Amino acid sequence: MTTSLTALPGARGPVSAAILGALRGSAAPAAPGLDAADPFGDDLHLALHLCYELHYRGLPGVAAEQEWDPKLLAVRALLESRFESGLRDSLPGGTDVEAEFDALLTETGAAGAIGFLVAEGQWWHVRELFAHRSVYHLKEADPHAWAIPRLSGPAKAGLVAVEFDEFGGGHADRVHAALFADLLAAAGLPNGYLALLEHVPGPMLALVNMMSMFGLHRALRGALVGHFAAAEITTAPAARRMDRILRRLGAPDACRFFYTEHIEADAVHEQVMRHDVAGGLLAAEPELAADVVFGIQATGLLEEYLDEHLASCWQDGRSSLRQPLP
């Protein structure tokens, strides 16, 4: 991979400015104006993303010890509360897990951003999509691994089986994050971990933060399973559409390979996640049904917000990113 994030990003508002100040050691952790912050906006989600990165690979110039700084964790909890409340207030909820899964399998046609790419997408649109997805796919399976010690029986075994595939089945060059790094390089984009963070706006960061929040909190293990199952169920159809788009545009083989790999793998993962992992979890802890539904619906909501952002920008002839790509 090429160079990853080499410096802390610029602030996107008062909340992220305060977190950046705390990470640099120049201020006490704080979240000024949090009550007025958009729970799905750039400012809150950059701040939350930076807090979460301390639990992944760390941040440049930030001491490893800050991962467990109690004052920073207290502010992170406030950010999480604002985000989670925003999600719950925007969703219908419920406990019918099977109905939610069935709805994901209903073909709705190619609309929104994918519909735009199918009908009139150009290579620059696809490169922007790659940039958005880089903050997700370069850590693709990592947040889900936090669920492993919190599950047992068929749910644990099934999730580990899916994760084993996500991590390349023991082959470093087949790790899905490595395949996406190859895709970025083939598209002429920086492919280091978080190398494109400054370019990516709030809608994409919110999706990644959702995974981290679900993964880091044992109380949200049901939501993480719901999210992971929803992602696996919807990936294969989306990957088939992306492969058709890339084939039409004459994209490099490495770009197409990432998606063709997911067509087969996630068709199997769908069954494992639905029946073994979600089914196993609910057989052992039926009281978590509402949390599983929350994870499924939250994933759909944030994917919809991202889709609307992409489609509206591209239909207006504008970039969907915060900064131009290299």
Q: What is the pTM of this model?
A: 0.96
Q: Tell me how far apart the terminal alpha carbons of the chain are, to the nearest angstrom.
A: 16
Average pLDDT by consecutive 10-residue portion of the chain (326 residues)? 81 97 92 95 98 97 96 97 98 98 78 92 98 95 96 97 94 95 98 97 98 98 97 91 96 96 80 96 98 98 98 97 94
Scanning the chain, the segments in alpha helix (DSSP H) are 14-23, 42-53, 70-90, 97-104, 112-120, 123-137, 142-145, 153-166, 176-186, 202-216, 221-248, 253-271, 279-284, 289-315
pLDDT score, position 268: 81
All structural domains of the chain with their residue ranges: 14-90, 97-315
Please, what is the angle between helix 97-104 and helix 289-315, to 10°? Answer: 30
- CATH number assigned to the domain with residue range 97-315, chosen from the 4 options 3.40.50.150, 1.20.910.10, 3.40.1260.10, 3.30.470.20: 1.20.910.10
- Helix H or strand E segment including 111: none
**Residues with Cβ within 8 Å of residue 152, at least 6 apart in sequence:** 284
pLDDT score, position 4: 84
**Residues with Cβ within 8 Å of residue 68, at least 6 apart in sequence:** none
pLDDT score, position 2: 54
Residue indicated by tokens 């985000």: 83
The length of the chain, given as a count of residues: 326
With the CA atoms of 317, 127, 118 and 204 taken in that order, what torsion angle do they form, in degrees rounded to the nearest 10? -80
- Cβ atoms of 130 and 184 closer than 8 Å: yes
Nearest Cα residue to 269 out of 144, 170, 150, 184:
144
| Gyration radius of the chain's alpha carbons | 19
Q: Which amino acid, 63?
A: A
pLDDT score, position 17: 97
Q: Between the CA of residue 208 and those of 83, 119, 133, what are the distances in Å?
A: 12, 28, 9
